[in-house]
Structure 1
Amino acid sequence: MKLMRVGPKGQERPVILDADGIYRDISAHIGDLTGDKLGAETLTKLQALDLSTLPELDANERIGACVANVGKFICIGLNYADHAAESGLDVPSEPVMFMKATSAIIGPNDDVEIPRNSTKTDWEVELGVVIGQEAKYVEEADALDYVSGYCVINDLSEREFQIERQGQWVKGKSADTFGPIGPYLVTKDEIADPQNLDMYLEVNGARHQSGNTKTMVYGVAHLVAYVSQFMSLQPGDIISTGTPPGVGLGMNPPVYLKPGDKMKLGIQGLGEQQQTVIQG
């Protein structure tokens, strides 16, 4: 299934995208796409619905983040060897983890704001993993059992705040609008192999990132299991799994976003995002 949330900010309704691309309102069945509605039992009930009987919504409505009330937004750094190289850093011997503030989350096509005093706002297309049930000390062989589905994420980053301003990366990752998520939460039954998905990102029509999740240093199952050794993962938590090469920081000379720029990014089977950059 492709699950979405559409409507004005703060008033989004959950929908299923049917085979004809029609938005079908499922709010009468689940209320919203919150973590407690992302478990196998609820998803099985949704799959059994006769979509033709559900209310149709306007396909031109704004698309919100595909998960409501995200508890933890966990990110993995330097998880593609070639991205680590362009950043001038070694491939880590264990996954690099950092948190991104949930207040950064926006819809996939909402405007992205350059923060005040920013000179190095950058882009990163990433595969998002949405947790469907509590995961604590799980084994890698079982890790995908705890996954509800996948989504596209643009892990926007302010490189000066991240690298040059001391402390943890979270400062450069958490500005308002720095977490576009969606358009869909695609349930895991539709993704045969999360480690073989093409991904791309363009700025003003120029392709900067072209990659595939098969080149991750640490795959999805490993990451879910690894993170669960340090903290329990709750339904609705999201893990953003790292980016392939082609970010602005890695260009020579570096290139960063400016007001008026337009980004387009996507992942095979998970849809596309489009954002216009504005000054915050």
Structure 2
Amino acid sequence: MKRARILFNGELTAVTVNDNNDAVLNDGTVIAEAEANWQPPCDGKIFVLGLNYADHAAELAFKAPEEPLVFLKGPNTLLGHRKNTYRPDGVDYMHYECELVAIIGKTAKNVSREEAMDYIGGYTVGNDYAIRDYLENYYRPNLRVKSRDTCTPVGPYIVDAKDVADPHNLALKTYINGELKQSGNTSDLVFDIPYLVEYLSAIMTLEPGDMIFTGTPEGLADVKPGDEIVTEVEGVGRLVNTIISETDYLASLN
């Protein structure tokens, strides 16, 4: 089953998603995928893994970390499918990061690696944009790099965990204006999902709706206003997002 949230008649509404990726209301009403007002599919803490693919670490001239490099993002960063992300005016380099996102399905504290997958409720697609200009240290990405409004599209929906046979063997791809720019596979994760659940649940209680962005493979490229970015995770979903200027974004708030 695929579950999502949309804005419908001004209210945040839970829906299921059919085989055409259309939103289906509880009364059976179908809203076409291109017409639905998609919202982030869940609420919760946002854990983000840095350098969790060895090829991406090498791409940035770093060694893969010896323990998970994790930071938290605020809910202000989240954005739904087919929405706009702004590129700050005057920056030189902003890039996407296609990621498999694991969603916690039940409360987890001090969970063992062996039992960890029982606590995953589903999966979705994330795109964790970064403003490279402001990066001081890949091990400590500061607020200006990763925590801006609209910088983390997620969705469009959550696929139930039982419907993803092997989350550690899924192709990830990113396209800019239809051109393939990034390609990888979750089999190359440095720290897999059971390890991450064990690690994080030893630090704090994980709750339903918490999101673990598991990292991105190599293949980053600069994005500019007007670009359409599509991030795909095999068997999980296709997330569409458009880049706009900061000037246009600020004008849209008025």
For normalisation by structure 2, the TM-score amounts to 0.89
In the TM superposition, residue 110 of structure 1 has moved relative to its aligned partner by 0.3
Change (3 A) 1:246 1:20: closer
1:111-141 per-position Cα deviation (integer Å, ceiling 9, x unaligned): 1111244332111000001111111111011
Q: Which residue of 1 aligns with 2:173?
A: 200
Residues 1:238 and 2:204 aligned together? no
Q: Which residue of 2 aligns with 1:262?
A: 228
In the TM superposition, residue 161 of structure 1 has moved relative to its aligned partner by 2.0
Q: Decide which of 49, 66, 71 is 1:98's aligned counterpart.
A: 71
The 8 Å contact of residues 101 and 170 in structure 1, kept in 2 or not, is answered as: no
Identity of aligned residues (%): 36
Output the CA distance in 1 between the equivalents of 2:81 and 2:21: 17
Q: Which residue of 1 aligns with 2:96?
A: 123
Q: SS of the residue aligned with 1:182?
A: strand
In the TM superposition, residue 207 of structure 1 has moved relative to its aligned partner by 1.2
- By percentage of residues, which structure has more strand? 2
1:49-99 per-position Cα deviation (integer Å, ceiling 9, x unaligned): xxxxx32132122222111xx231110110110000001111111110011
Letter of the 1:62 counterpart:
N
Aligned residues: 244
Q: Decide which of 142, 147, 155 is 2:115's aligned counterpart.
A: 142
5+ long unaligned stretches in structure 1 = 27-53, 249-255
In the TM superposition, residue 203 of structure 1 has moved relative to its aligned partner by 1.1
In the TM superposition, residue 13 of structure 1 has moved relative to its aligned partner by 1.3
In the TM superposition, residue 273 of structure 1 has moved relative to its aligned partner by 1.4
Output the CA distance in 1 between the equivalents of 2:203 and 2:22: 41
Q: SS of the residue aligned with 1:75?
A: strand
Q: Decide which of 46, 64, 80 is 2:53's aligned counterpart.
A: 80
The 8 Å contact of residues 69 and 139 in structure 2, kept in 1 or not, is answered as: no
The 8 Å contact of residues 125 and 154 in structure 2, kept in 1 or not, is answered as: yes
Output the CA distance in 2 between the equivalents of 1:242 and 1:96: 10
Letter of the 1:25 counterpart:
L
In the TM superposition, residue 174 of structure 1 has moved relative to its aligned partner by 1.0
Q: Decide which of 142, 146, 155 is 1:173's aligned counterpart.
A: 146
Residues 1:275 and 2:250 aligned together? no
Q: Decide which of 186, 206, 221 is 2:194's aligned counterpart.
A: 221
For normalisation by structure 1, the TM-score amounts to 0.82
Output the CA distance in 2 between the equivalents of 1:75 and 1:190: 23
- Alignment root-mean-square deviation, CA: 2.0
The 8 Å contact of residues 131 and 146 in structure 1, kept in 2 or not, is answered as: yes
The 8 Å contact of residues 24 and 31 in structure 2, kept in 1 or not, is answered as: no
Q: SS of the residue aligned with 2:122?
A: strand
Q: Which residue of 2 aligns with 1:63?
A: 38
5+ long unaligned stretches in structure 2 = 247-254
Output the CA distance in 2 between the equivalents of 1:170 and 1:9: 34
